[in-house]
Structure 1
Amino acid sequence: MSAAEAGRAEEIAARVEDFVRNVVAPYEQDPRCTAHGPTEELVMELRAKARETGVMTPHILKDGSHLTQRETALVLRMTGLSPLGPVACNTGAPDEGNMYLLGKVGSPEIKERFLKQLVSGEARSAFFMTEPASEGGAGSDPSMMKTTCKKDGNHWVINGRKAFITGAEGAKVGIVMAKSDDGACMFLVDLPNPAIRIERVLDTIDNSMPGGHAVIMIDNLRVPADQMLGESGEGFKYAQIRLSPARLSHCMRWLGGCVRSHEIAVDYANRRHAFGKPLVDHEGVGFMLAENLIDLKQAELMIDWCADVLDTGALGTAESSMAKVAVSEALMRIADRCVQVMGGTGVSGDTIVEKIFREIRAFRIYDGPTEVHKWSLAKKIKRDWKGQSH
C-alpha cells in the first residue's frame, strides 16, 4: 500500500471509527434489534445518520472506484466495531460482496438499475445460492445445485428452493444462481417478486444481519435474458470473482468486533477485584488477555497479507481460504476468552461481548466452514505435489 493510499484509508477509517463508536454503538440495545436482525426502520435510520456524517459506503469512492483491498481492510475493521456498524455504513454481507461483483462484471444497464441503489444504501440485496441440505442441494459444494433455469423466448424461467438466504426479507435486489444445460448461471432480479416466496426466516445463533436467513421457494420466476450476468454457464466464473474478497471482508469486519470485545474485557479485568486484587493481576486472566493480543495481531497480518495478494489482481482462492481459516479460528478464541474473563457478565446481554461471541461462532461456518477450506487446501497440496518432478 502506497503512502497516499495509506493516508486516504486512515482518514476514512478514522471518521468511520468515530461514527461507529459514538453514533452507532448506542443503538445496540435498541428494541428494533430483533432475533432476525435490525428492522428496516432501524436500518434506514442508521443509514440516514451515516449519510449525514459522510461515511455511507465508505469503501466505494464517489467516482465508483473501490478502495484497494488493503485500504478496505482498515475501513471495514472500523465498521465492525459494532455489529450494527456494517449495517449503518453499508459494508455488510451480502451487500458488500454483491456490490463488488456488479461493479466488476455488471453491464452499464445493470449498474444503473441495480448497483446504483445498493451503493447509495437505499436498497439491500440477497444472494440466492445455498439450497436445503435435506434435499441434497448446494451448500459448501455449489456443484450440487438443483435450482434450474430454462430458456423460454427472450426470458429464462427459474425453479427451485434456496436456504440460508441472508437478507432476503426486505431486499430490493436479488442475485439468483441456477443451473442450465450449460452449467451455472447468475441473474439479477427486482425484489419482492411473487415468484420468489419466503417460506420462513430461520432462527439462528446470530442476529446482526437485516432480514435474517430465509428458506425460499422459487416458482416459475421469469427473468429477461438481458438480466443474466454474462452468458449461460458462466455463473461459477462470476462467483469466483466475488468469492475471495467476500471471505476476506468477513474477516475484516469481525476483527473489528473482536477488537471491541477485547477492549471491554480489558476494562472489566482492570476494574473488577477478586481475591484481593484486580482480575488482570491473576495470571489466568492476564494470560488470556495477552493471548488475545497475539491472536488479534496475527489475524490483522493474515488479512493484510491476503489483501495484498488480491490487490495484484490474483483470484487468491487458496490465500483467502487460509486467511478465512486462520482468522475465524483466532477470532473464536478471542471471543471465547472475552466471555470467560468476564464470567457471568460475559454471558449476559449487559455488554456486546456475548453477541459478538455468537456472531463469530456463525462466522466459522459462513463463506465456507473451516473443514471445507482445509479440504480444499489439501487438494491443492496434492495437485502441486503431482506437478513437481520427484
Structure 2
Amino acid sequence: MDFSLPPEIDQLRGRIRAFVNDRLIPLEADRASYDAHESIDTGLLQTLRAEARAQGLWALNMPKQRGGGGLKLTALAACYEEMNRSIFGPVVFHGAAPDDGNMRVLNQVATEAQKTRWLQPIIDGAVQSAFVMTEPMDEDGAGCGSDPSLTYTTATRTNAGWVVKGRKWFITGAGAAQHFILIARTSDDPRRGLSAFLFHADQPGWRIVRRIPIMGPEEHGGHCELEFDGLEIPEENLLMQEGDGLKLTQIRLGPARLTHCMRWLGLARRSLEVAMAYVEKRRSFGGRLIDKESVQGQIGQAAMEIQIGRLLTMNAAWKLDQGDFARKEVSMAKVVVADALHKAADTALQLLGGRGYSKDTPVEWIYRYARQARLVDGASEVHRMVLANFMRKEGTDFFKWGV
C-alpha cells in the first residue's frame, strides 16, 4: 500500500487540525467547558458541532447523501487521529464511540426503512445511540464480554414480535441514548443463537439500574447497567435475520476497534506534544530537560511506538477498504496502539512531573482514560490469543506478503 495521502484528504486533515488547534484545545483549560463527568459541556458541544458541520467536517464515516463525508477507512485514519489531539475532538466532529460504530453497522446492514427510522437521526446528531451486548456474570460465572457465546439475555418470539428479559452492563452512552442496538439470545444454536434488535429509550419493559462509576473520564451517558423485564420489540425492528446477531457483532466490532486505534493515536501524539513543549523550556541541573539523554530516550521510545501503531492501523484500514476482514491486522493494531497510548501518556506525565499529575494539562485526563484501551472491544489478551490461533492455523503463511 501507498502510505501517502491524496491531496484532498491531506487538505481535509489540515482543516481538522486547524479547528482542533484554534477552537478545541484552548477550551480544555477552562473548567466551565466540562460537565460533571469530565465530558464536554452539552451546551458548548452543540455550538461546536454546528461550527464543524458548517465547515464540512461532520460524520466523515457516513455517505455524503446522508450528510456525512463519505470517507474510506484509510482517510478516516488520518482524520480521526487529528480529531483526537483534543480530548473534545471526536464527539464534536461526530466521530466518537459508540455512535461511530453504530452508524457504520446500521449503514451496512439495515433496511432502507430502518435507516430512515434509526440511522438518519443519529447521523443528524438528533439522538445518541448505544450498543447493548456485554453482561454481568450470572450465578455460574457466565456473562457476555469478549465471548459473545455467553449471552444469557433472551428474546422470546411472540405473535407480535419478541419479548426481552435479562441484564446488560457497561453499556457506553446508555444514560443519554435514545436508539439502541441489542444483542440477545434467540436459540441455543452455537453459531446462530444470537439475534440483533433495535429499540427506543421510550419503550417500556427496560430500565437503567445504575450508571457505573469508572476510573477515567466518561462519554456522554456514561457506562450503565440495564435490566430487561418484558421489553417488547416488533418484528420490523429485528436487524438482519434471526440468528445473525453474532455476524452483526463481528461486522460492527472489527472497524470499531480500528477507529478506536485511530483516535487513541491522536491522544498519544497530544501527550507527547504537551511533554515536548515542557521539556524544551524547563531548566534543571544546569540545562534544559530535553538535552538530558534519559529524557531523549523516553521520548524517542514513545514516539517510535506511536509510529508503529500508526503503520499497523493504516495497514488494517487499507485491508478493510479492499474488502478483507483484516482480523489479524485489526487485532495487532488494537494491542499495539493501546500499549502505545498508555506509554505516551505515562511518559508525558513522568516528564511533566507534578504538573503532569495536576489538572493543569490534559495529560492526567488522558492517562486515566488510556487504561481502558487494553480492555475495551476485546482485552489485549484475547487479541493475542486470536493472533496465536491464526499462527497455528496458517503457519509460515501468517507472514505472507499480499500479491
If the length of structure 2 is used for normalisation, what is the TM-score? 0.91
Q: Mean alpha-carbon deviation: is it higher for 99-108 or for 189-198?
A: 189-198
User: Which moves more between the two structures, 332-341 or 39-48?
Assistant: 39-48
Write the mapping of 1:188-203 to structure 2, written as runs, cut at 5 A.
188-203=198-213
Per-residue deviation at 1:180? 0.3
Give the equivalent residue in structure 2 for 1:63: 65
1:94 maps to 2:65: no
2: CA distance, partners of 1:380 / 1:91: 31
1:165 maps to 2:167: no
Cα 1:387–1:267 change in 2 (3 A) is closer
Paired AA for residue 12 in structure 1 = L
- Residue in 2 that maps onto 1:10: 10
Contact 2:155 2:164 in 1 (8 A): yes
Contact 1:76 1:249 in 2 (8 A): yes
- The answer for the alignment partner of 2:276 in structure 1 is 266
In the alignment, what sits opposite 1:79? 83
Offset of residue 290 of structure 1: 1.4
Judged with a 3 Å threshold, the aligned counterparts in structure 2 of structure 1 residues 40 and 217 are, in CA distance, closer, same or farther, namely farther
Give yes or no for contact 1:160–1:217 (8 Å, CA) kept in 2: yes
Identity of aligned residues (%): 36
| Residues 130-186 of structure 1 deviation map (CA, whole Å, 9 limit, x = unaligned) | 011365210111110011001111311111111100000111210011010151111
Distance 1:279 1:186, change over 3 A: same
**Residue in 1 aligned with 2:51?**
49
User: Structure 1 residues 20 and 150, CA, compared in 2 at 3 Å: closer, same or farther?
Assistant: same
- Partner residue in 2 for 1:20: 20
Distance in 2 between residues matched to 1:93 and 1:5, nearest whole Å: 25
Preserved CA contact (<8 Å) 2:62 2:104: no
Q: Does the 8 Å contact 1:19/1:53 carry over to 2?
A: no
1:208-357 to structure 2, matched below 5 A, reads: 208-357=218-367
Letter in 1 for 2:37: A
Q: 104, 108, 115: which one pairs with 1:104?
A: 108
Say which SS state the counterpart of residue 203 (structure 2) adopts: coil
Structure 1 residues 344 and 161: alpha-carbon distance in aligned structure 2, compared to 1, 3 A threshold: same
**1:147–1:159 contact (8 Å) kept in structure 2:** yes
Q: Is the 8 A contact 1:39 1:210 kept in 2?
A: no
Report the equivalent of 1:373: 383
Matched AA of 1:214:
C
Distance (Å, rounded) in 1 between the aligned partners of 2:45 and 2:376: 22
Deviation at 1:287, TM superposition (A): 1.3
What is the CA-CA distance between 1:354 and the residue it aligns to? 1.0
Residues 49-82 of structure 1, C-alpha deviations (whole Å, 9 max, x = no match) = 3223332213334224731111110111111111
Tell me, in whole angstroms, the C-alpha distance in 2 between the residues paired with 1:98 and 1:5.
Answer: 27
**Runs of at least 5 residues in structure 2 that lack an aligned partner in the other structure:** 399-403
2:197 maps to: 187
Mapped contact 1:12–1:58 kept (Cα < 8 A): no
1:122 equivalent in alignment to 2:110: no
After superposition, the Cα gap between the structure-2 partners of 1:36 and 1:216, relative to the gap in structure 1 and judged at 3 Å, is: farther
Inter-CA distance 201–3: structure 2 relative to 1 (3 Å threshold): closer
> Counterpart amino acid of 1:177?
I
Equivalent residue, structure 2, for 1:113: 117
Aligned to 1:21, the other structure's residue is in SS state: helix
Aligned mates of 1:36, 1:174 — CA distance in 2? 24
What residue identity is the alignment partner of 1:267? Answer: A
Contact 1:265 1:342 in 2 (8 A): yes
Query: Among 135, 138, 144, which residue is 2:150 paired with?
Result: 144
Structure 1 pair 351–246 and aligned structure 2 pair: CA distance change class (3 A): same
Q: Which amino acid aligns with 1:102?
A: L
In 2, the alpha carbon distance for the partners of 1:371 and 1:267 equals 35
SS at match of 1:185: strand
Q: TM-score, normalised by structure 1?
A: 0.94
Q: 1:233 to 1:90 in 2, by over 3 A?
A: same
Aligned residue type for 1:159:
K
Matched pairs, number: 388
Task: For residue 278 of structure 1, report the CA deviation from its aligned partner.
Answer: 0.7
SS in 1 for 2:239: coil
What are the superposed Cα offsets for residues 237-281 of structure 1, whole Å, 9 maximum, x if unpaired? Answer: 111111211000000001011111111100000111110111111
Q: Comparing 275-284 with 43-52, which one deviates more in the overlay? A: 43-52
